[in-house]
Chains A and B, each alone.
Chain A
Amino acid sequence: MTRLTVNGTPMEAVSDPGTPLLDVLRGEMGLTGTRFGCGLEACGACFVLLDGRPVASCTTPLSVAEGRDVVTIEGLAPGDELHPVQRAILDEQAGQCGFCLSGIMVSAAALLARDPHPDEEAVVAALDRNLCRCGVHRRVVRAVLKAAGEVTR
């Protein structure tokens, strides 16, 4: 049994402690918003916040999350609310297939939490570990800058 907090709720995970956190989230916890992209921590699709920092959940064993705070795309904002980044992504229609977006929004939320006033360069740098294949990069950058404007208000 591994104790951890997921999206603000204390949880007990029964999976083997060596199980990738991604499989625990998508499997026994039913939180399928976090994506499997490569399993090699090379694309960012599986990013979650671990104590506020974006990590690749595909290569993070459950044991590493013991006693720590995990936030997934489902928990970026409370209840049915959307995080400013999520709202801005919709406003800018910054998506095509949308598969990379969970990890991208997790990276962006972490950036805005530590730097509410990022410039474009900082946004690009914060998202550079996330891959997108449909080519919505510039829309995403615009959306994150827009969300930053909202966060400050």
Chain B
Amino acid sequence: MSERLAERVSIGPDGVICVIAGKVELGQGVLTALAQIAADALGADLAQVRMVAARTDGGPDEGLTAGSLSIQRAGPPLREACARVRAACAAEAARRWGVSPGEVTVRRGEFRAGDLTATYADLAKAVDLPAEEAPADAGTEQNVYVGTSVPRLDLPDKVAGRPRFIHDLRLPGQLHGRVLRPPSPGARLARLSPPPQDLRVVRDGSFLGVLGESEAEADRALGRLRRLAEWDERDTLPDENDLDTFLRAGPHETIPVRVADGEPPEGQVIEATYSRPFLAHASIAPSCAAARWNADGTLEVWTHSQGVYLLRRALAEVLGLDHDRVAVRHVEGAGCYGHNGADDVALDAALLARASGGRPVHVRWSRADELTWAPFGSAMSADVSAVVDEAGSVRSWQYDVWSQGHISRPTYGGRPGLLAGAHLERPWTYGAPTDPPPQAGWGSARNADPIYDFPRAQVTGHRLTETPIRSSALRSLGAFMNVFAIESFMDELALAAGRDPLEYRLDHLSDPRAREVLRRAADAAGWGRPGLGIGFARYKGFGAYCAAVAEIEAEQDVRVRRLTLAVDVGQVINPDGVRNQIEGGAVQATSWTLKERVRFDRRAITSRDWESYPILRFSETPEVAVELVEHPDTPPVGSGEAAQGPVAAAIANAVAASIEVRVRDLPITRDAIIRAIG
């Protein structure tokens, strides 16, 4: 029987310390980093710490795992809870041994005073304190694991092929479910021919699903169901070849990010317009979930959602249940880069399980559904203009960005926000996506306000408040586009002034940490050679500093040979973890920058497989070098999203430096270069 010493810590008789995290593993390695923090705060051996996945039945509510905030937000309370457990156990040891608590030390899970020793397992049984009432931290925590490259705790299972993903979940008596999505966003079910008796169809309005005993049977059943359904379809989508017009037509919410005083000064005006298309998450695994309705009317859900508590609230609302009748538990999925289909498929599973006679139902989306129905990262369009002095330095800056909102997560905007909800007989429609507030780093306007010391600047966001396209958070939200635009434009200004792009930036930049990452990236890349491009940002204005230098080849297509990045995340919990996140972010940003664009006609999304939505391949992947600029005494910030914008800008600037073509509309394909020349 485990002894529960705090809301999130329990200790078994075998000495295993279970720590329930409020944050979830998305493939980013956060559970490993949190385990390092917990082990050091406990004075325990890392091998005796087990991280338990987030869950609403017995785990803390720490909101979403998003925004590169997990280490920053979840680290301190976890450290505090673990330190209290350690202090309580040390006090118990001191009582037993008749020594003062100050004489008890703990290292690698062993409490010691002179020759006397005890383990967590020995002491935990006698300690019965809610953590809040336990004595505060006793002794000084020593960093054994924090700051070191501890290997990922979840990788051994994944490398051996052991069951670990939600796709591998096999609940007793489990059925497999498939959903027949409408053929296009505006479609409604017109008619369903009576299904043959052996086809186990679930219908609610335009929501259609089938059940099977195996995945293969469910897939076959889905094919049969498809032939029975007739849909009314409508053209609801904008012109994909003219998204600027669509984004700028409105209606908009105006977002005053920075308001300038007075009129702009006289001087030469330089201006440019940039854009990016809609982007897909395009995780390698389709979204997946499982659900079970119990005889007492309670619902259990297994999900790879980023927020188990938010999902619980949304599910309860759609299904008409009290929150406490729903338990939502996290199971790892494939890489998560934002609000994908994870929450949606959980509702699918709950709806199908409601009609399965009490048997659990496991649901997996198809590749086409994943690419066409998961929320997209919004297309964006931005105008930048600057008034420059005789030396070409910025006297006044103006930036306007048009975008859909970047958040339509469950319960945001006061709606459940789950896909199938909109297809039900009594629908729960989802509204236009909104944006996070300024203190969370904006959405459309994320990183729209540059870190440079401009004497005057006006920065305005324009968020579309009506749209037929569902968009939500995709890694770095608006920052990818805004940094691409700002940093491309800084390059244009530098070149117009005949100045070196690195020196031009430094001349406008007093923040010492910003200057340091720029210099470190430039030095490591051998700045000064022809053909290099540079990009830089401090994520959200208060997160990680990141500078990127790109080296490209432009023959038939643009190919990125090498990326060199410098990053400053303050204190580094796991150096290899940070490197891996920066490398991965840089490679993914390269893919977005060179290749990716969600395609659609006026009726349906047409990029539905890996041919119509290509992503970067092994043969196209650049070498990535990462310089860590360490500030051990500065609180840690997240690294997951810092590279996206700087890499896009560095590539575009390298294209301009190499072939003297300025591409302002992403992706930078052969066609885009030809258009830019024309």
B621 contacts chain A at the CB level, 8 A cutoff: yes
**A35/B215 in contact, CB under 8 A:** no
**A45/B152 in contact, CB under 8 A:** no
- Number of A positions contacting B (CB below 8 A): 56
**A96/B618 in contact, CB under 8 A:** no
Partner of B216, one of A23, A37, A137, A141: A23
Q: B452 to nearest A CB, angstroms?
A: 29
**A136/B619 in contact, CB under 8 A:** no
Q: A141 to nearest B CB, angstroms?
A: 7
Q: How far is the CA of A11 from the CA of B1 in the complex (A)?
A: 41
**B285/A136 in contact, CB under 8 A:** no
Interface string of A99-130 (1 = CB under 8 A from B): 11110010000000000000000001101101
**B618/A95 in contact, CB under 8 A:** no
Interface string of A15-46 (1 = CB under 8 A from B): 11001100110111011111111111011010
Partner of B335, one of A30, A128, A133: A133
Q: A133 to nearest B CB, angstroms?
A: 5
**A42/B609 in contact, CB under 8 A:** yes
**A39/B284 in contact, CB under 8 A:** no
Q: B549 to nearest A CB, angstroms?
A: 16
A57 contacts chain B at the CB level, 8 A cutoff: no
User: If the complex has contacts A27-B215, A96-B27, A133-B283, are A33 and B609 also in contact, measured as CB distance less than 8 A?
Assistant: no
Q: How far is the CA of A35 from the CA of B56 in the complex (A)?
A: 28
A151 contacts chain B at the CB level, 8 A cutoff: no
Q: Which of B209-243 contact A (CB under 8 A)?
A: 214-216, 219
A64 contacts chain B at the CB level, 8 A cutoff: no
Residues of chain A within 8 A (CB-CB) of B588 are: 133-135
Partner of A135, one of B159, B332, B364, B583: B583
B272 contacts chain A at the CB level, 8 A cutoff: no
**B367/A32 in contact, CB under 8 A:** no
Q: A142 to nearest B CB, angstroms?
A: 10
**A124/B216 in contact, CB under 8 A:** no
**A138/B155 in contact, CB under 8 A:** no
A98 contacts chain B at the CB level, 8 A cutoff: yes
Residues of chain A within 8 A (CB-CB) of B216 are: 15-16, 19-20, 23-24, 27
**B335/A97 in contact, CB under 8 A:** yes
Partner of A137, one of B26, B611, B618: B618
Q: B476 to nearest A CB, angstroms?
A: 14
Partner of A134, one of B27, B154, B156: B27
Of the stretches B117-125, B160-168, B493-501, the one at the interface is B160-168
Partner of B167, one of A35, A39, A72: A35
**A32/B168 in contact, CB under 8 A:** yes
**A138/B159 in contact, CB under 8 A:** no
Q: How far is the CA of A11 from the CA of B110 in the complex (A)?
A: 49
Q: How far is the CA of A16 from the CA of B216 in the complex (A)?
A: 10
Partner of A136, one of B149, B154, B214, B580: B580
B615 contacts chain A at the CB level, 8 A cutoff: yes
Q: By DSSP majority rule, is chain B's interface helix, strand, loop, or mixed?
A: loop
- Number of B positions contacting A (CB below 8 A): 61
B585 contacts chain A at the CB level, 8 A cutoff: yes
Q: How far is the CA of A101 from the CA of B170 in the complex (A)?
A: 21
Residues of chain A within 8 A (CB-CB) of B583 are: 135-136, 138-139
**A39/B335 in contact, CB under 8 A:** no
Question: Which of A39, A98, A138 has most chain B Cβ within 10 Å?
Answer: A98
Q: A102 to nearest B CB, angstroms?
A: 5
B586 contacts chain A at the CB level, 8 A cutoff: yes
Q: Which of B534-569 contact A (CB under 8 A)?
A: none
Partner of A97, one of B215, B334, B618: B334
**B215/A137 in contact, CB under 8 A:** no
Residues of chain B within 8 A (CB-CB) of A19 are: 216
A66 contacts chain B at the CB level, 8 A cutoff: no
Q: Which of B279-324 contact A (CB under 8 A)?
A: 282-286
A74 contacts chain B at the CB level, 8 A cutoff: yes
**A40/B609 in contact, CB under 8 A:** yes
User: If the complex has contacts A42-B609, A135-B588, are A95 and B155 also in contact, measured as CB distance less than 8 A?
Assistant: yes
16 A-B pairs with C-beta separation under 8 A: A15-B214, A31-B161, A37-B284, A40-B367, A40-B610, A42-B609, A45-B285, A82-B159, A93-B149, A96-B29, A96-B581, A133-B282, A134-B335, A135-B585, A135-B586, A135-B587
For the complex of A and B, the 8 pairs showing the least CB-CB separation, nearest first, are: A33-B161, A97-B27, A135-B587, A98-B158, A135-B584, A73-B161, A97-B335, A99-B334
Give the A-binding residues of B (Cβ under 8 A).
26-29, 149, 151-152, 154-156, 158-165, 167-168, 170, 214-216, 219, 282-286, 332-337, 364, 366-367, 576, 580-581, 583-588, 591, 609-611, 615-619, 621-624
Q: A23-B214, A36-B286 are in contact. List 18 more A-B contacts (CB 8 A).
A: A16-B216, A33-B160, A38-B609, A39-B367, A40-B609, A43-B610, A86-B159, A93-B149, A96-B27, A96-B28, A97-B333, A101-B159, A133-B283, A133-B284, A137-B618, A138-B587, A138-B621, A141-B618
Give the B-binding residues of A (Cβ under 8 A).
15-16, 19-20, 23-24, 26-28, 30-40, 42-43, 45, 72-74, 82, 86, 89-90, 93, 95-102, 105, 124-125, 127-128, 130-141
